[in-house]
């Protein structure tokens, strides 16, 4: 069977992943030349506030592609497909098949031959779900379709070892400084720099400071301590709609912590997780489980507040950190 001359592929191509690669590989197998039409920023804005900019999405494709692929900006649902005379094929996934059929109807009205439609089935992740940009943005899988944290890991107790001490003491994120006696100074600066996602505050001082500022974090994680000293004034956990408990001894990440963070992230209510033990390592769990764009704030002793937004790079670092813990069932 002879190859098609020129094949069109359209899509958003956010967080370029294995599913995108399979789609383009099928196009390259079917056609001598492939045009990839990428939705522009105006079209993509309606999908998610954390979609990558057009140029980043284009660059990811070009870094992977060979010379038979060219990239173009898509400004509407159909692009040039209804009127192009030099194309003979179009690639789709099951949910975009109808769009391709509509394009062919328009081509017939324009006196053109219909394009050959090549339907490519979805690539699946390690648990049988579809590898998609939306699942990646939701923080469930990476771009290869692997879970950020395995179910078996959630049921294990992970013990910190001192070889990680220096790495974990360094601020992992953007540090906002301010006087220790006025924590709202640093916190105000952090709140001016948050991403579009939810706010997770770790530590009693951070949570209390936000409450004093009239802000209820979407998720709060507290243990009744600061600098390992019990607080005289407790956080007003009654300000939150949902209260959860977690048992997490110092220097550990427990199944109880994984379960509480998972429940909090799934809830649409403001949630306070009261930890019996210590919450210092909670940001690792939060970043591993949270959607991209989640804002995690925690205190940096004697310095200020650290804000770290959940990104693919952040998740990867937390996955590598967790792998260095000693595991005990």
Could you list the pLDDT tens digit for every one of the 329 residues in the chain? 579 999 999 999 999 999 999 999 999 999 999 999 999 999 988 888 999 999 999 999 999 999 999 999 999 999 999 999 999 999 999 999 999 999 999 999 999 999 999 999 999 999 999 999 999 999 999 999 999 999 999 999 999 887 777 777 777 899 999 998 899 999 999 999 999 999 999 999 999 999 999 999 999 999 986 655 555 568 889 999 999 999 999 999 999 999 999 999 999 999 999 999 999 999 999 999 999 999 999 998 889 999 999 999 999 999 999 999 999 76
Domains of the chain: 4-137 (3.40.50.620), 151-328 (no CATH)
Q: Residues 290, 295, 297, CA angle at the centre, nearest 5°?
A: 115
The Cα 13–Cα 227 span in angstroms is 45
Q: Taking CA 289 as the corner, what is the angle to CA 94 and CA 146, rounded to the nearest 5 degrees?
A: 50
**Two structure tokens written together for 171:** 């601020």
What is the three-class DSSP state of 249? coil
Q: Strand (E) positions, 64-155?
A: 69-74, 89-92, 116-119
Distance from C-alpha of 256 to C-alpha of 155, rounded to nearest angstrom: 8
Residue among 314, 257, 326 nearest 287 (CA): 314
């Amino acid at each position: 069977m002879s190859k098609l001359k020129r094949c069109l592929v359209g899509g958003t191509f956010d967080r370029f992943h294995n599913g995108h690669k399979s789609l383009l590989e099928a196009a390259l197998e079917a056609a001598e030349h492939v045009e990839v039409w990428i939705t522009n920023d105006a079209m993509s804005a309606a999908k998610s506030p954390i979609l990558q900019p057009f140029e980043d999405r284009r660059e990811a494709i070009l870094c992977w592609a060979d010379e038979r692929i060219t990239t173009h900006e898509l400004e509407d649902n159909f692009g040039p497909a209804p009127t192009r005379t030099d194309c003979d094929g179009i690639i789709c996934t099951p949910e975009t098949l109808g769009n391709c059929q509509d394009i062919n109807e328009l081509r017939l009205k324009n006196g053109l031959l219909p394009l050959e439609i090549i339907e490519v089935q979805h690539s699946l992740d390690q648990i049988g779900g579809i590898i998609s940009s939306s699942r990646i943005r939701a923080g469930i899988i990476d771009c290869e379709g692997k879970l950020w944290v395995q179910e078996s890991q959630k049921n294990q107790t992970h013990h910190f070892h001192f070889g990680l001490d220096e790495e974990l003491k360094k601020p992992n994120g953007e540090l906002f400084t301010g006087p220790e006696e006025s924590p709202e100074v640093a916190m105000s600066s952090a709140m001016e720099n948050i991403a579009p996602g939810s706010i997770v505050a770790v530590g009693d001082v951070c949570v209390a400071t936000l409450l004093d500022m009239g802000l209820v974090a979407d998720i709060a994680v507290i243990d009744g301590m600061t600098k390992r000293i019990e607080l005289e004034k407790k956080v007003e956990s009654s300000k939150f709609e949902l209260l959860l408990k977690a048992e997490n001894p110092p220097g550990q990440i427990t199944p109880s912590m994984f379960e509480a963070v998972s429940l909090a992230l799934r809830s649409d209510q403001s949630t306070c997780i009261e930890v019996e033990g210590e919450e210092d390592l909670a940001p690792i769990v939060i970043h591993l489980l949270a959607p991209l764009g989640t804002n995690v704030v925690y205190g940096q002793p004697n310095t200020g507040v650290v804000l770290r937004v959940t990104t693919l790079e952040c998740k990867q670092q937390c996955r590598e950190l967790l792998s260095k813990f000693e595991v005990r069932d």
